[in-house]
Structure 1
Amino acid sequence: MIQNTLNVEQSRQLLKALADPIRLDVIHALAQGERCVCDLTGDLNLSQSKLSFHLRVLREAGLLTDRQSGRWIYYRLQPDALSALEAWLAELRRHCSKSAAPCSS
């Protein structure tokens, strides 16, 4: 879903996914590496249903990948999505330094 450059919809979806404090907590927890849902529920003090909702939003935005091992599901950050977001922000930064053209009226 995520390429090197983000379109408007992709950037909106990523930023919306990151706008929630609980989802940011999940991102910070996964910054340490792959984690099992059972560990995340305890570490973040969330019910499994609430955590599952937020994990789904992050996964649908392309920020996470998951794998199943037996009855457990493990989540990790998706580096490509983070790189694309970083490139998009760098592009915004480059445009911020451009001066406007003189007004013609």
Structure 2
Amino acid sequence: MSKQALPVLAAADGCRTTLTAPLDADTAATLAIGFKALADPVRLRLLSLIASAGGEEVCVCELTPAFELSQPTISHHLKVLRESGLLTSQRRGTWVYYRVVPQMLQQLSRVLALDS
């Protein structure tokens, strides 16, 4: 993520401030998809469960019992997380295994870090 200098802005009282934007427009658009996916409590919990596996993959059959939702609903939420770039998946027979994409989580974390 590259920093871009914004134009110098003149405040109403005459002081001048230079602002910098840590994200370019394309990066912001990409990361917004991830943040939007995480705005749902079920998806946030799913990502948390998968991330707690320490980089190991997690079968959808292990995730479904943690929720009072149907398996198709869980699969839909996992699809949203996968399409947003937060998860990868691999089908083996009838089961699908999910793993977090650490680089995407790191990018989202950097945006929220106070010192970025």
Please state which band the TM-score falls in when normalised by the shorter chain: 0.7 to 0.9
Higher relative contact order (CA 8 A, sep 6+): 1
Contact 1:64 1:77 in 2 (8 A): yes
Structure with a larger share of its residues in helix? 1
In structure 1, stretches of 5+ residues that fail to align are: 96-105
In structure 2, stretches of 5+ residues that fail to align are: 3-22
Counterpart for residue 100 of structure 1: none
Counterpart for residue 67 of structure 1: 90
- Matched residues in 1 for 2:59 and 2:96: separation? 6
- Matched residues in 2 for 1:76 and 1:40: separation? 12
Displacement after TM superposition at 1:44 (Å): 2.1
Alignment CA distance shift 1:12-1:43 (3 Å): same
TM-score (norm 1): 0.74
Structure with a larger share of its residues in strand? 2
Which stretches of structure 1, 4 residues or more, deviate above 6 A after TM superposition?
3-6
Counterpart for residue 47 of structure 2: 27
**What is the one-letter code of the residue matched to 1:25?**
R
TM-score (norm 2): 0.68
Contact 1:37 1:73 in 2 (8 A): yes
**What is the one-letter code of the residue matched to 1:84?**
Q
Contact 1:62 1:78 in 2 (8 A): yes
Say which one has the larger Rg. 2
Q: 66, 71, 75: which is aligned to 1:43?
A: 66
Displacement after TM superposition at 1:32 (Å): 2.3
Q: 79, 83, 91: which is aligned to 2:106?
A: 83
- Matched residues in 1 for 2:104 and 2:28: separation? 14
Displacement after TM superposition at 1:86 (Å): 1.9
Q: Report the count of equivalent residues.
A: 91
Displacement after TM superposition at 1:94 (Å): 4.3
Counterpart for residue 18 of structure 1: 38
The percent of aligned pairs where both chains have the same amino acid is 43
